[in-house]
Amino acid sequence: MASSFSKFSQTLLLLVVFWGITSSSNAQLSTDYYSKSCPNLFSTVKFTVHSAIMKEARMGASLLRLFFHDCFVNGCDGSLLLDDTSSFTGEKNAVPNRNSARGFDVIDDIKSAVENVCPGVVSCADILAIAARDSVKLLGGPNWDVKLGRRDARSASRAAANNGIPAPTSNLNRLISRFNALGLSTRDLVALSGAHTIGQARCTSFRARIYNESNIDLSFAKTKQSNCPRSSGSGDNNLAPLDIQTPTYFDNKYFNNLIGKRGLLHSDQELFNGGSTDSIVRAYSKNPSSFSSDFVTAMIKMGDISPLTGSKGEIRKNCRRVN
């Protein structure tokens, strides 16, 4: 009898251990993930993000963009932050990121500050998510509770970055297809594109639109042409605001621009060009609260794309390299 009970106890113990392992590897993200392990996390991140945006308002858009470009390549795992080495090829020099993705030094500063208050606890992937939220909020946009608990990838994929991040030349069908493949709806696509209410783009990203396309306001095109020469190689890195009305304030003016045929990128104007998303653009242009609400929903959904949790990945000590 004692032997049978002992075997039962051992079996029960194995089941408990197995359950613990499987549950931890399938752990869900939560808004209070660091409430005990790093209670000062949010204030620490916010202070550094605020300092960076005070120095340069554009940095808020850059930090938000880093989160997009991370999540769209094999999920929100901090892979974008890894530097190339002699034996490792990362995503920073993929076509969508080369000479345009920026803010890595700010992420370094945030990581350093967070490590000072709770070393070895918070992932770089989660820091990206918080920094994106704080950037939106500090520039006048909506606030939301960020879901956390991601771990950092030990690998990256330049090929996936080249293929997975929609190009500024994308048509509407391509945009819808790519977002749908990641579990994001057409409404999510339009709402997330509203992030272009802040930030700037390089001449190389909009040259073809301002010289070759007809669904564009002529005065808008001419103004942009003055700072973006037709010839490739000339003024390639010259910048223009994605939102000509309030380029450093997070609002719904981006959608008004699209209705006026003043979308800077081809992919922007595709959202209002006689297609299935016209009605959503019109609605957001008239109702800023609806845009804000849908943007928050879409950001949370995007942050849920294939996170590494439980025993997967690692908590990097330095966001630029694996431990």
Is 50 marked active-site?
Answer: no
Catalytic, out of 58, 69, 147, 207: 69
Cα distances (angstroms) measured from residue 54 to each of 47, 58, 102, 132, 250: 11, 9, 16, 15, 15
Let me know if 85 is exposed, middle or buried by CB neighbors in 10 A (0-12, 13-18, 19+). Answer: exposed
Which pair of structure tokens corresponds to residue 162? 């080249």
- CA 39 – CA 238 distance, rounded (Å): 42
Tell whether 50 is in a known binding site. Answer: no
Tell whether 166 is in a known binding site. Answer: yes
Query: What is the CA 177 to chain-centroid distance, rounded?
Result: 18
Query: What is the CA 154 to chain-centroid distance, rounded?
Result: 19
The most distant pair of C-alpha atoms in the chain lies apart, rounded to whole Å, by 91
Tell whether 75 is in a known binding site. Answer: yes
Tell whether 289 is in a known binding site. Answer: no
Tell whether 70 is in a known binding site. Answer: yes
Tell whether 196 is in a known binding site. Answer: yes
Tell whether 243 is in a known binding site. Answer: yes
Tell whether 77 is in a known binding site. Answer: yes
Which helix (H) or strand (E) is 204 found in, with range? Answer: helix 203-212
| Annotated binding-site ranges | 70, 73, 75, 77, 79, 91, 166, 196-197, 243, 246, 251
| Annotated binding-site ranges for substrate | 166
* Residue positions annotated with a catalytic role: 69
